[in-house]
Amino acid sequence: MDKFPKRKPMHLEGFDYKTPTFYFITLCVNGRRNLLGEISQETFVPSNDSDIIIARSFSALCESFPGSSIDSYVIMPNHLHFLIFKNNEFDLIEIVKFFKVFSTKLFSREIFDNRFWQKNFYDHIVRNDEDLMNIREYISNNPKRWYLDSLFVD
């Protein structure tokens, strides 16, 4: 009998994450603390310059990984969703790691201990145009659904 429970894989086994396609990514703040802002009247209100830091980090990502572009994103109080199109030889895991390291360096150490983002991230490989459209709609409507979100923490 194993001492530790088996964790559900975070990424699709056997999939080549160098494949050019759209990916839907979710990054959570370590401990799911509400460090990025709050939702007020169904609108995200940033704190700790999170909107500026995220935008700068996406810009740096696209410069560092030519062929990558951010289609859409939404910042939530304790997580970030983004849709990235990757048309290059870089592995998605490398790209997300760069984003996490770059953005962490921009956040003030006063607001977090040790690690800003959780170690892993969630990804969804976009399968077709309908899937892409649904994800864009999900991103757009996410602040309106904050209190129903599985990542909601008051």
CATH T-level topology, domain 21-148: Alpha-Beta Plaits (3.30.70)
pTM of the model: 0.87
Per-residue pLDDT of the chain (154 residues; tens, 9 = 90+): 556 555 455 665 766 777 889 999 999 999 999 999 999 999 999 999 999 999 999 999 999 999 999 999 999 999 999 999 999 999 999 999 999 999 999 998 777 777 899 999 999 999 999 999 999 999 999 999 887 766 666 6
Q: How do the domains of the chain map onto residue ranges?
A: 21-148
Residue with tokens 């983004």: 82
Q: What is the dihedral of CA 5, 33, 119, 108, to 10 degrees?
A: -160
